[in-house]
Structure 1
Amino acid sequence: MTPLVPAATKWWQSGQARKIGARSKTRMKLRHTAALALMGWYLMVPPFIGSTGIADQEPISAWQRFGPYNSESDCTKSKSKWQDFLKAPYADNDTSQEQALMAFQKALCVSENDPRLEKPPEEKNRPTD
């Protein structure tokens, strides 16, 4: 399974987003990030499988987390904007863009206290690289 974020970052850095006049990313300071962690909704996006699939059968705790958002409405609007962005025609339309669109179509807005966000005990104890 390939995480969505590196693939989306690679696509973003390729210049495709800037070609259509998208706004550039804004870096946030650490204190802003910490303050945002107290808010309540996340857009959960299934990770990629290989070069064409998505792992939407994986537990939501294994999905990529976007956000947080102040409300479910804000989260839903963000999901919609991502889908519109990924549906736009590009000169270099490729499989990774289609794969990202599939992932965002399956994405879910979940509350930060949703029990599905908890990793199962075996995942919590697994050593990380």
Structure 2
Amino acid sequence: MNIRHAGALALVGWYLLVPPINHNTKSIDSKAPITAWTVLNKFGTDKECKKGMSDHDALIEEVSESGYAREGKLQTELLSKAQCIDENDHRFKGWEGAFIGRIR
């Protein structure tokens, strides 16, 4: 690997995303496009993101405190659908999503 490739890799980050919630029906739309999902946190690597995704207590606290999801059943379902996505993923083109949690 040359220096240019190392520099490009250093710019890559990973988002921990959760799907949108329809608060009227209290349901999660996990089939919504990624551009409609909400970022809970950002990590430097995929491994860090997956580790962060496994910390359910911290994630539940974040979605609850932010007001994004306060009901326990909704929080559990939401976190079961969470995904780690590379910030350079082509599906982010035109993204107008929201940030909650530590990176507000």
Which of 65, 90, 96 aligns to 1:115? It is 90
**Are 2:20 and 1:47 aligned?**
yes
Q: RMSD over aligned Cα, in angstroms?
A: 2.4
> Looking at CA atoms only, which structure, 1 or 2, has the larger radius of gyration?
1
Partners of 1:55 and 1:111 lie apart in 2 by 21
CA apart distance, 1:97: 1.7
Aligned residues: 76
Pairing 1:1-129 to 2, within 5 Å after superposition? 40-50=13-23, 51-82=25-56, 86=60, 96-119=71-94
Q: Which segments of structure 1 move beyond 3 Å, counting only runs of 4 or more?
A: 83-86
Note if contact 2:53-2:59 (Cα within 8 Å) is conserved in structure 1.
no
Identity %: 32
Contact 1:75 1:109 in 2 (8 A): yes
Q: How far apart are the structure 1 equivalents of 2:87 and 2:79?
A: 19
8 A Cα contact 1:83 1:104, kept in partner: no
Give the TM-score normalised by the residue count of structure 1.
0.51
User: What TM-score, normalized to structure 2?
Assistant: 0.61
Unmatched runs of 5 consecutive residues or more in structure 2 = 1-10, 61-69, 97-104
116 and 49 in structure 1: CA distance in 2 versus 1, 3 angstrom threshold: same
Higher RCO (CA 8 Å, separation ≥ 6 residues): 2
Query: 1:46-81 CA distances to partner (integer Å, 9 max, x unpaired)?
Result: 011125310111101110012210111111111111
| Richer in strand (by share) | 2
Q: Contact 1:42–1:109 (CA<8 Å) still a contact in 2?
A: yes
User: Residues 101 and 49 from structure 1, CA distance in 2 versus in 1: closer, same or farther, beyond 3 angstroms?
Assistant: same
